[in-house]
Every structure is written in structure tokens, then in C-alpha cells.
Amino acid sequence: MAGGMTSTTLILLLHLSLHTVDEGHAVNPSCSCIRFTSTHGKPRGTFSSPDYPRAYPPRVDCLLYTFVAAPHQIVELVFTTFDVYKEHLDCTHGDYLKVYSEGFHGPGPPGINEYSAWSRVLCGSRADTPPALYSHGPLLVLELHTGPKISNATGFVGNYRFIDRKNFETDGVQVPDTWCDYVFNSQPNRPTFGRLYSPRYPSSYPSNVRCTYHFNARQNERIKLVFEESFLQKGDESCLNRADIIKVFDGRLQTSPVLAMLCNEVLGYEILSTGSELLVQFTANSNSPGQGFKASYQFQMDDNSSAESDIKKSVTTEPIPGLGPAVSATTSSCHKMFRSDKSKTGKLTSPQYPAPYPQKTQCDYDFLARGRERVRLVFEDFSLQRMTENIIDCESMDALDVFLYVDGRQEKMASFCGNDIPKPIMSNGPKLSIRFRGIYSSRYSRGFKIAYSFVEDYGITTGSQLLEFPCAFVFNSSERGRGVVTSPNYPGTYPRDTECNYFFYGNDNERVHLHFSYFDVEGVLPCEAVSASDYVQFSSQMIDSESHRYCGQMKELQVTSEKNFLRITFRSNDRLDGTGFKADYLFLRDSEMHSIVMPDTDSDNAADGLKFT
């Protein structure tokens, strides 16, 4: 045992060995080891730092917590309390807790030795710890080290359990002579649904790996894929900058249109194929692998009502406020489903439009897109009964509620009431729902008229759209020397959970100049994930994570590329909404750049003149 151990620590180790662990074995003479091999009939066992809840002692050279499961199991650790003094940002000096996901399987009892590689190191507060830790196999080891500095940090308390690894087996058929390629075929008298996981999930996936998952439905079937959890990297970087990425193709080949590119952290992301084949490609090349992903799939009949039932389950049918159950039962009701495989465009009107809608009316309208499509609503007429001139909120008035699907659950995006025509709306995925609450009505209330469409171009009408990205557009000076570029769905609110890239290519002696006449991107400087900000980023390189981000509201913004290439990245999260941007672009030869007039920069809201190298 290390010489720096205090007597209190010795007492704690003795207590643990008598009550919660069996006899310990020190693989390395300088380490003390506590072994956990059972939860003693309980769902979970517990572990804690020395002297908890008092501050842990200094100079703990090496204390090992070794969790040993059965051969068919993996180890799960969840910290309920975590307070380890952070002396350095990288947690490799002072006080820290190293995590070994794979132990040493040599002669003698399981353990680690001086050649074992730790998978991560932890220090700081509860916010610095992962939601859970998982082993790759039946062994997981924590190494506690505390430096000479005395702190008031109280250490940690956690729960552990042993889980059958069969809970995380991919349901497809593994391709022979591959490690992580699978095929999923729809067959008669076989389950029409199943699960798939990244390698070693829920533990971290390995580096330098590429996995493919091929889905083959029958001719009259389509494929529904839901990424329930995907943790690749933390942050909100563009997927173009990420080394670990999930690509979903609308077909069997990598040349098929890309439906989704997932990186960072994603919950409840849903994809619906347009045909009977789908390809998922997972590539991991980073040096810091994440936890990976778990997803579910379903082969759906093309013409059945499974899609409608999915939406109906998540659309609540609460009574209209102010009406009793008996009255609610007699209200006028209307429910409609609009599917892109039936019609790409159409009109939606309130009951009896343009005549006043009946009192006590409640209507639910659901939209279902496929593939790369998003749902777009453009309001052509809007006239609802208003009870007061000063509208504070729409809850007590006739209103139209718009629902999106965020992290796999339904969430109200906005409520509209009164007579002001709302701006266009766009879904953040294949589904969008509307609820019309016509409680009062009057002879002056015409109701509403909406033009709906299922669009693949995100409402962006300029540039040439690329198939290898979900939302990307190219602007070549050889095709058009000047024009307009906008955010998705402009002049309406841009969709949530969306990344769009714009690539400008000039000739060798040209640069591109952009004048943003409108800029409203939700967020606050420095426009990062910590402030839940959407952002726009400009770069002279295809892959670039260092460029300055822009968000908020600006009266004007001017951007000039330093070279003949410019990339604009727009990225929104699942929070608040903005109206986006509109810019005029112009390709100019170097000799013509002097003709650009920069705006006045004296006022707070003046434009910025920017050059990017």
C-alpha cells in the first residue's frame, strides 16, 4: 500500500472489504485495490471516495476500484455525486480519477498493470462527469490519485451494476469477415423492427473504424430509422469539421442522396426513406471517441396507417380550455393527415373558409414528409376572433398552435392568433403538426388559408443543391456572377436542428463579396453551445473550425473573401428561432475590388466589413 495513505483511509478500506467487496489484489505493489464482484442481490451496488462525505485525504498515490462482472456482462458506473478538485484543465496532475475501460487479462486475477491504457480521466464537479461509464468487457477500473495540496473537495459517490451484453446486440446479420458491417433484410414471418448500435456500445467506440448498415425492405415497404441517442463529440461544430460522423443515404450506394449527417450529440432523430433501401455509414477517425449511438429501425408498409398512428399517439387530445367534458363531446372536430407520397403541395383551410368557422371547433392537422424533405407552411390568409386588442398570449383566444418534434418528443413551436399573417414555418424533420382551437368565432372571423409543400431545397431558391449533403448549395461565378443567398425558409423563421452550407467558387483572379441586408440569427456572443446560440460562420477553407462566429441582430454585414473560395455555414439548434439572413453576392476581379463601398461603422448597429484569409 502506498506510504502516503492516512489512517482514516486504511479504516475505510477495511470497512469496504468487510461489507461491500471481497478480498483485494494489488496488481501493482504501489496500488491498493478494492474489488467489486457482486451487488449482493440488490439492483445496484455503491462505491465512494475515502472519508466521504468528508474531504478526501491528500497524497493518495494510487487507489484502484476494480469492478469485475461475469464474462457475458459489462459494467455500468453512474456518479451520483462528484467533487474532485480540478488543479489542471486536462485533469492529469493533482487530483484525478482515471478510467480503464479494458483491463489486463493476464495470468492471475483480473486487473491492470503499467502497460494498461486509460480511456479517460475525470476531475472537477458533477457537470464534468459523463452521465454513465461503461466497460468494453467484464472489467472496469478506476484509479484515484490525489496530490499534496489539501482541498475541501468531498470526492464522489456512485452506483454500479452488471448488465448483460446481449442487451446491446445489433439485430442485423453481420457480414462475414467484417467487424461491424450488418445487413437488415425484411422477410415474411420475421420481426419488422429491431435495433442497431455502434461498436462496443454503450462503451466508447474504437478509433479508426468504419461500419456500414444496409437496410433492404420489400418492394411495398419503406424504412423508418430513429437515432434515439447519438453521442459522438461534445459541442456544436459543423459536421464538415468532425472526424466522427454518421451518414445516412437514401438508397443502397454511397452515391445516393444524403438524408442526414449526424455528429456532436443528437437525441430522437428520425429518418424516413423514400424507397425500399437505406444505407447508414459510421466513420470514426478522431483521437477521442464518444459513446456512439443506439438506434431503432422499422420496415413499414407503404400504404398502411402506421405513420399516422405514430403521430396521433404524440398529439394530445386535451379538452378545449373553458369547455366541460359534455360540451367538448359536441364540438366540431376535424383531423387530417397530409403525406408527401400522396401530394407534394396543397391548400389547407379552416372549416367553412372563407365563411366564419363554427364555434367550439378543434382541428388537428398532421404532416409527414420523407427522405430529404421538410414541411413548409406559407400563410395566405389569417383572421381569428380576438377577445382583446392587446394580445398578451394566445392561450385564451382562438389560435393556431404549431408543434415540432424535438429530441423525439412533441414540442410547441409557436401559437398564432389575431389577424396578423404569420411568417412561413418549416419543420425540423419529417413531421409537423398543427392544432386549431376555434373556441369563440364571430361573423368577422374568416379563419385561415395555408399553402403547404414538402420541399427538399429548404426553401432556398438560388444556387445548385448538392446531393452529398442534406443542405448544401454551390454558387459558381462561371454560372452566375451575382445573385442573392438566404437562410433556410427565409423570410420565415429558419428550421431548428439544421445545418446548411453555401460554397462560393470564383475564378482564379476573383473574390466574392457579400452584403447582408438582413441578419437575425438567434444567439449571443461568442455564439457557442454554452449560450445555446445558433450561428453563421465564414471560412476560406472547406474544413475550418477556428473561424469567428456571428449571431444576434445586425443592421448590415459585409464579407469579402480573401481568395476565390468562401464557405458559409449556418447552424441552428433545437431552441429558439430567428428569421435568418439575406445577402447579395457579387463575384469581382481583384482589379474591381476598389469599387466596393464599405458602410459607416460609427454607430453601434453599423455593418461590419470583413475579410477572411
Phi and psi, residue 273, nearest 5°: -75, 160
**Domains assigned to the chain:** 7-165 (2.60.120.290), 169-301 (2.60.120.290), 319-455 (2.60.120.290), 464-612 (2.60.120.290)
Between 191 and 320, residue with greater pLDDT: 191
- 3-class SS letters over 147-189: CCCCCCCCEEEEEEEEEEHHHHCCCCEECCCCCCCEEEECCCC
- Confidence class for position 273, pLDDT limits 50, 70, 90: very high
Give the pLDDT confidence score for residue 394 in this predicted structure. 87
- Which range, of 102-106, 169-173, 236-240, 356-360, averages the lowest pLDDT? 102-106
Is the pLDDT at 416 greater than 70? The verdict is yes
- 3-class SS letters over 483-506: EEEECCCCCCCCCCCCEEEEEEEC
Helix (H) or strand (E) holding 508: none
* 232 neighbors 245 (Cβ within 8 angstroms): yes
Helix (H) or strand (E) holding 548: none
Between 464 and 112, residue with greater pLDDT: 464
Is the pLDDT at 92 greater than 80? The verdict is yes
Distance between CA 421 and CA 450 in Å, rounded? 10
Q: Report the pLDDT averaged over residues 113-134.
A: 84
Distance between CA 424 and CA 211 in Å, rounded? 39
Distance between CA 181 and CA 199 in Å, rounded? 10
Report for 368-377, 534-543, 589-598: range of highest mean pLDDT? 368-377
DSSP at 264: S
Is the pLDDT at 492 greater than 80? The verdict is yes
Return the number of other C-beta atoms located less than 10 Å from residue 333's C-beta.
14
Distance between CA 427 and CA 574 in Å, rounded? 11
Read off the C-alpha cell for 361: 371547433
Between 612 and 208, residue with greater pLDDT: 208
3-state class (DSSP) for residue 124:
strand
* 65 neighbors 26 (Cβ within 8 angstroms): no
pTM score, two decimals? Answer: 0.83
Phi and psi, residue 66, nearest 5°: -110, 120
- Which range, of 112-116, 576-580, 584-588, averages the lowest pLDDT? 112-116
pLDDT in tens, 159-204: 999 999 999 999 999 999 999 999 999 999 899 999 999 999 999 9
Distance between CA 365 and CA 434 in Å, rounded? 5
The region, left, alpha or beta by phi > 0 then psi within -120 to 50, assigned to residue 189 is: left
Cα dist from 206 to 121, 151, 244, 251, whole Å: 17, 36, 11, 27
Average pLDDT, the chain: 85
Distance between CA 549 and CA 526 in Å, rounded? 7
3-state class (DSSP) for residue 587:
strand
Question: What residues contact 282, with CB distance under 8 A and at least 6 apart?
Answer: 180, 198, 209, 210, 211, 212, 213, 245, 246, 293
- Confidence class for position 315, pLDDT limits 50, 70, 90: very low
- Confidence class for position 343, pLDDT limits 50, 70, 90: very high
Distance between CA 238 and CA 234 in Å, rounded? 12
